[in-house]
Chains A and B, each alone.
Chain A
Amino acid sequence: MMSKKLLLSLLALTLFINDASAWIPDRRRLYEDRDENVYMVIPALASMPGVGVFVGVLGSFSNLWGSGVDAAVTEAQTVGNSDGTGSDIHIRAYALREVPLLIPGLTFEYWFGDIKFNDYYSYLPGRDSPNYLIPYTGEFNYYFLRPSYRLWERRFELSYNLVFFKGYEINSAGQEVLQASHAASGQIKLDFTDDWVDPHKGLRMTYSTNLRAPKKSILGTSNTEEDPRSEQVKTHQYNLGLYLPWGEQTTLALYREWCSAQGLEESDQVITCGFLRLRGYPGGRWSDRFAQTKIAELRYSIPTNLDMDWLLVHGKLEGLQLAGFYEEGQVSPQDDERLTQDIHRSYGAGVRALIDAIVLRLDLGFSEEGPQTHLTIDHAF
């Protein structure tokens, strides 16, 4: 892939250039200097036919008591119907981030999720995957541990990601099975932007690859023999984000992503390197051995500098941001012209609340397969 070589060249250039500071933007602010105890709690209440009343809360907390630790909580649950027949559907997710370890710059992140739905849906992997949902039992626990080492005002980051999944999955024969398995990956990130949270100018590059996963860790124990694919398939993922300022308030953010999976070429199964990140499609809609995505997003910030000290939110609303985006991408079983043919397109708009180091993002994406809503923390890239 030419694009991959270009990214590698950029990485090398960055590492060996003599006077990097000449073109690397100064930080607008340091993440470590963020305000203490900034938080927001978002309540949710919805009535869903056949399910009952769904009550939930999404909370994000930043720099707790000046420790540098961030936390996030999602707690949502159906409450029983008056006849006692309410279904037990819940989403419980907790995250601790930026927990400092002994060495300066070394932190870890820990997530735990306990999810139970009646049904969860998946799509077949592969370039020609039909728009046809395959249901399975949406019941799983998810554990994530990520030690990270950051240097130079977070411009350099090295991370190890360990995931332990315990729950229902669809196996390669198309059957629902109860699995407990690990996955591991490593990541290097170079962030030459003016802000780690909401960049206005600069560029950001990431390379990640899968690593050999343990069968047993502090997160849990796998219940299956080692998946031969994790041993024999090597995935590589490259991301490049470019942030171009246009006046004080507008940023044109461009994003490029490539991924590939090598190994088991003789297999009749579809081996995937990851999923396309197109917000107009459901998560996991497109995957194959090779994938490429391009995104252009225009962000317009409206400064507010509003101090909020209310029951559900505490912090400074620095601004509201309006965004419009266009995305395209494709997957292919080979690194060939099919990666640029019959491109999948997605477009949409969003609004973001910039609350100190928290970006609360609501995006509405559209594609030929309908609309998708995303309410989450952090920029898409």
Chain B
Amino acid sequence: MPSKTILSWWLAASALWVLAGCGAVSGPEEQPKSALGTGSYGTDVSSQVTQVTVTDSLGKTVGHFEYDSQQFTPLYQASDASDGLRVILSAESGALQVTAAKSLGRADTACRYQVALLARDQDFELGLAGWKTNPQGLDVYWASANRTDDYRAFYCALLSDTAGVAIQAQATDAQRLEAKILMALLGSLTKG
């Protein structure tokens, strides 16, 4: 075999080696990055808000968010900074429930892991996912999944180098995941 042929084959093979595994993303297609928006469902947000603080593992405040305390009823509120679960909120007579917990590491890792778990263990169908930027300029990753009468969306944000927050919204229909009070909560999420 002439040497030129062998060399050409090696070069082609090498290119395949480098390209193998690059750029492949499976599951539902990721949406282009967009603005978070203000929501399209339900009552407008009232001026009565409650602030929730998010801390890292050392107890240092890394961020906070606010929720409409007229429409959301807290079912659980963390009593101290070390509690990983920050708050569980309910609205629309329980048809919309929001859970906020501390998170570590990349936002897209945490959010995609949670919806993958739902698909694996509870037969959820995987939905759309992607990055959104909230009005505070914070990048929030969201991923969704659903099954009959159970619609979930996870929103994850990194608030310091390693610590962040994961917010799960659970609703009885897809519309409620676009609730104005939910988008206001996510829109208030900020670092510091």
B119 and A175 within 8 A (CB): no
Contact present for A130 and B20 (CB under 8 Å):
no
User: Is A124 touching B113 in the complex (CB atoms < 8 A)?
Assistant: yes
Q: Does A265 contact B (CB under 8 A)?
A: no
Of B113, B119, B121, the residue contacting A174 (CB under 8 A) is B113
**B109 to A136, Cβ gap below 8 A?**
yes
A361 to chain B, nearest CB (A): 10
Judge if B16 is at the interface, Cβ distance under 8 Å: yes
B114 within 8 A of A: yes
- Residue in chain A with minimal CB distance to B28: A132
> Do A174 and B14 form a contact, CB below 8 Å, given A124-B120, A132-B116, A133-B26?
no
Q: Decide: A48 and B16 in contact? CB cutoff 8 A.
A: no
In the complex the two chains form, is A373's CB within 8 Å of B109's CB?
Answer: no
Q: Is the interface of B mostly helix, strand, loop or mixed?
A: helix
Q: Which residue of B lies closest to A74 (CB)?
A: B17
Q: Would you give the shortest CB distance from B153 to chain A, in whole angstroms?
A: 16
B151 CB to closest chain A CB (Å) equals: 17
The answer to whether A46 and B24 touch across the interface, beta carbons within 8 angstroms, is no
Do residues A170 and B17 form an inter-chain contact, with CB atoms below 8 A? no
Which residues in B have their C-beta under 8 angstroms from that of A372?
20-21
Q: Do A374 and B20 contact each other (CB < 8 Å), given the known contacts A308-B3, A369-B26?
A: yes
Whether the pair A42, B13 counts as a contact (CB closer than 8 A) is: yes
Q: Which residues of chain B are within 8 angstroms of A130 by Cβ–Cβ distance? A: 27, 116, 119-120, 126
Q: Are A174 and B20 in contact (CB under 8 A)?
A: no
Asked if A362 contacts B113 (CB within 8 A), the reply is no
Residue in B closest to A375 when the chains form the complex, CB atoms: B17
* Cross-chain contact B27 with A46 (CB below 8 angstroms): no
Is there contact, CB below 8 Å, between A282 and B21?
yes
Check: A223 CB closer than 8 A to any chain B CB.
no
Known: A282-B21, A372-B20. A174 touches B27 (CB 8 A): no
Interface residues in B82-116 by Cβ distance below 8 A to A read 103-106, 108-110, 112-116
- Contact residue range for chain A? 35 or more
Most A-side CB within 10 Å, residue of B1, B6, B17: B17
Interface: B58 (CB within 8 A): no
CB atoms of A42 and B112 under 8 A apart:
no
Given contacts A48-B22, A132-B116, A175-B110, contact A58 B14 (CB under 8 A): yes
CB within 8 Å: A-B pair count: 122
Report A357-375 CB contacts with B as 1/0, cut-off 8 Å.
0000010000001101111
What string of 1s and 0s marks CB contacts (under 8 Å) between A129-147 and chain B? 1111111110000000000
CB of A175 within 8 A of CB of B120, answer no
Complex interface: chain A residues within 8 A of B6 (CB): 308, 313, 317
A152 at the interface (CB under 8 A from B): no
Q: Give Cα A221–Cα B117 distance, bound, in whole angstroms.
A: 32
- With both chains docked as a complex, state the minimum distance between the C-beta of A307 and any C-beta of chain B, in angstroms: 11
Q: How far is the CA of A128 from the CA of B122 in the complex (A)?
A: 10
Report how far A134 CA is from B10 CA in the complex, Å: 32
Q: B109 touching A134 by the CB < 8 A rule?
A: yes
- Are B14 and A124 in contact, with the CB atoms below 8 A? no
Q: Name which residue of chain B comes closest to A44, CB basis.
A: B14
Bound complex: CA A211 to CA B113 (Å): 29
Q: Are B14 and A134 in contact (CB under 8 A)?
A: no
Of chain A, the residue at the smallest CB distance from B10 is A42
The answer to whether residues A174 and B3 also contact, given A46-B18, A48-B22 and a CB cut-off of 8 A, is no
Task: Kindly identify which residue among B1, B19, B104 contacts A306, using a CB–CB cutoff of 8 Å.
Answer: B1
Task: Identify which of residues 256-307 in chain A touch chain B, using a CB-to-CB cut-off of 8 Å.
Answer: 282, 304, 306
Which residue of chain B is the closest to A364 with respect to CB atoms?
B16
In the A-B complex, the 10 residue pairs with the smallest Cβ-Cβ separation, listed nearest first, are A176-B105, A174-B113, A44-B14, A132-B27, A375-B17, A373-B20, A175-B104, A130-B119, A176-B109, A46-B18
Which residues of B are interface residues toward A (Cβ below 8 A)?
Answer: 1, 3, 6-7, 10-11, 13-27, 103-106, 108-110, 112-117, 119-121, 126, 162
22 A-B Cβ contacts within 8 A? A42-B10, A44-B15, A45-B14, A128-B121, A130-B119, A130-B126, A132-B119, A134-B113, A170-B113, A174-B114, A174-B117, A175-B109, A178-B162, A282-B21, A308-B3, A317-B6, A362-B16, A372-B21, A373-B16, A373-B19, A374-B20, A375-B17
Q: List A residues at the B interface (Cβ < 8 Å).
A: 42-46, 48, 54, 56, 58, 76, 121, 123-124, 126, 128-137, 168, 170-171, 173-178, 282, 304, 306, 308, 310, 312-313, 317, 362, 369-370, 372-375
Known: A171-B104, A177-B104. 13 other contacts (CB 8 A): A44-B11, A44-B18, A45-B11, A46-B18, A48-B22, A48-B23, A130-B116, A133-B112, A136-B109, A304-B1, A308-B6, A375-B14, A375-B16
